Amino acid sequence: MAEAVIRHWVETPVRYQEQFALQELEAHKLDHSLYALPGPSTAARGNRRCTAETTAEAGKSGQEEENTGFQVLLDVVQFRPEDIIIQTFEGWLLIKAQHGPRMDEHGFISRSFTRQYKLPDGVENKDLSALFCHDGILVVEMKNSVGKN
Amino acid sequence: MAARTVPHAYPMSSEYEFANPSKIYDQNFGEGVSQCEILAPALYHGYYIRPRINKQLDRGTSEISLNEHKFEVFLDVCHFLPDELTVRTVDNLLEVMGQHPQKADRHGFISREFTRTYILPLDVDPLLVRATLSHDGILSIVAPRTGKEIKARVNEVKITQQEQPVGKEEQSGEGKEKKEP
């Protein structure tokens, strides 16, 4: 662990590298999830490595997602975190978002939507984690421990 | 309560003009994103944003075009069918409502609802508002402007002065002087 060099895919500026080397990297996990967003280059690469090691064949991206777990991305730029309710109900994942009249550049707007996704078999409420990224993308995915097991 | 929202900013100052662009983007909501559509984050005006491929920049817009003769609004309502939309005016407010029941799209099932309220200029008659839905899902709402400036009705109110009796005034004055020290 101590010898391992962890290089972030968002390059750390050189002037901060020494500072990061001294500190515990685990302590920055939360910051990292806020600023370095789960984009294609983290998740997709990780998945690709996993599948390459286990099955030693490269499949389509959709299949890779199926192998590793369940992930849902949703564009909720117009909503605040407190407007969103995530529920599971009989094998379905419900994402409800609603906000009342708000003033914008053209007057007032209120919106609401409900989105449903079918969960894979055996996936329960406690297996899921949700992340509201600062650029307005909501990520609901299976927790890492569950996905690996 | 929500049906009668009263605007608290009056559209007459230059600040209002600058704060209110005629066209706003990215008003579609509840859209799913797939992993492969997201590109690596880029720094944009000091914030990390993730650019997306397949993002339709010309959809989900709301535009107000205002000239001397007419007031016109273009709103992208491409997720809604014609019978799922309602347009009405409440005093000088123009309300566009849309609601669609659960339907399937390429990410799953979704139901949506929105209410958008525009403020009509003072010289627009709410009864002359016309709405048309184009084949590509853009709702255009037009109303003629009369161009007449609404004249302020000025009414001078005459001030009547009340005269106090001389004797009472003196008494009250003396009383105050005594109490103060």
What's the 3-state SS for chain B? Answer: CHHHCCCCCCCCCHHHHHHCCCEECCCCCCEEECHHHECCCEEECCEEECCECCCCCCCCCEEEEECCCEEEEEEECCCCCHHHEEEEEECCEEEEEEEEEEEECCCCEEEEEEEEEEECCCCECHHHCEEEECCCCEEEEEEEECCCCCCCCCCCCCCCCCCCCHHHHHHHHHHHHHHCC
Using a CB-CB cut-off of 8 Å, the residues of chain A touching B110 are: 113-116
pTM of the model: 0.67
Domain boundary among the residues A24, A47, A68 is at A68
- Structure-token pair, residue B58: 């010309």
Instruction: For A51-62, write each residue's pLDDT tens digit.
Output: 333 333 333 333
Does B116 contact A at CB distance below 8 Å? yes
In angstroms, the separation between the Cα of residue A4 and the nearest Cα of chain B is 25
Per-residue pLDDT of chain B (181 residues; tens, 9 = 90+): 444 444 455 566 666 666 668 888 889 999 888 888 888 777 777 777 788 887 888 889 999 998 889 999 999 999 999 999 999 999 889 999 999 999 998 888 999 999 999 999 888 999 999 999 999 999 999 999 987 776 778 899 999 999 988 876 555 545 444 444 4
Q: Are residues A49 and A84 in the same domain?
A: no
Q: Are residues A75 and A142 in the same domain?
A: yes
What are phi and psi for residue B109, nearest 5 degrees?
A: -105, 145
In angstroms, the separation between the Cα of residue A100 and the nearest Cα of chain B is 8
Going from the C-alpha of A28 to that of each of A25, A109, B5, B176, the distances in angstroms are 5, 38, 45, 72
User: For testing the chain B interface, which of A95, A109, A141 should be mutated: the one with the most B CBs within 10 Å?
Assistant: A109
Expressed as residue numbers, the domain containing A139 is 69-149
Q: Are residues A56 and A75 in the same domain?
A: no
pLDDT mean across residues, chain A:
70
Give the helix/strand (H/E) hosting A45: helix A40-54
Q: ∠ CA B108-B101-A96 to the nearest 5 degrees? A: 60
Cross-chain residue pair B20–A109, CB shorter than 8 Å: no
Identify which of B20, B29, B48 has the shortest CB distance to residue A37. B48
pLDDT of B39 = 82
Q: Are residues A42 and A73 in the same domain?
A: no
pLDDT of B64 = 93
Q: Are residues A58 and A76 in the same domain?
A: no
| Residues within 8 A of B (CB atoms), A 1-20 only | 9-10
Rounded CA-CA distance B5/A102 in Å is: 10
Cross-chain residue pair B115–A108, CB shorter than 8 Å: yes
CATH of B12-27+56-144 given 2.60.40.790, 3.10.20.740, 3.30.450.20, 1.10.443.10:
2.60.40.790
In angstroms, the separation between the Cα of residue B154 and the nearest Cα of chain A is 30
Q: Are residues A27 and A83 in the same domain?
A: no
In angstroms, the separation between the Cα of residue A75 and the nearest Cα of chain B is 5
Q: Are residues A48 and A110 in the same domain?
A: no
Partnered with residue B70 across adjacent β-strands are B144
Per DSSP, the three-state class of A53 is helix
Q: pLDDT above 70 covers what percent of chain B?
A: 81
For the domain that residue A135 is a member of, what is the CATH number?
Answer: 2.60.40.790
Which residue is closest to B64 within chain A, CA to CA? A106
Cross-chain residue pair B112–A134, CB shorter than 8 Å: no
* Total tally of structural domains belonging to chain A: 2
pLDDT band of residue A32 (cuts 50, 70, 90) is low
Domain boundary among the residues A17, A39, A68 is at A68
- Structure-token pair, residue B150: 């609404």
Identify which of B21, B34, B115 has the shortest CB distance to residue A105. B21
List binding-site positions of B for Zn(2+). 100, 107
Which residue is closest to B73 within chain A, CA to CA? A106
Going from the C-alpha of B32 to that of each of A102, A139, B1, B17, B113, the distances in angstroms are 23, 10, 32, 34, 16
CA dihedral A101→A106→A112→A114, nearest 10 degrees, is: -170
Rounded CA-CA distance B84/B98 in Å is: 6
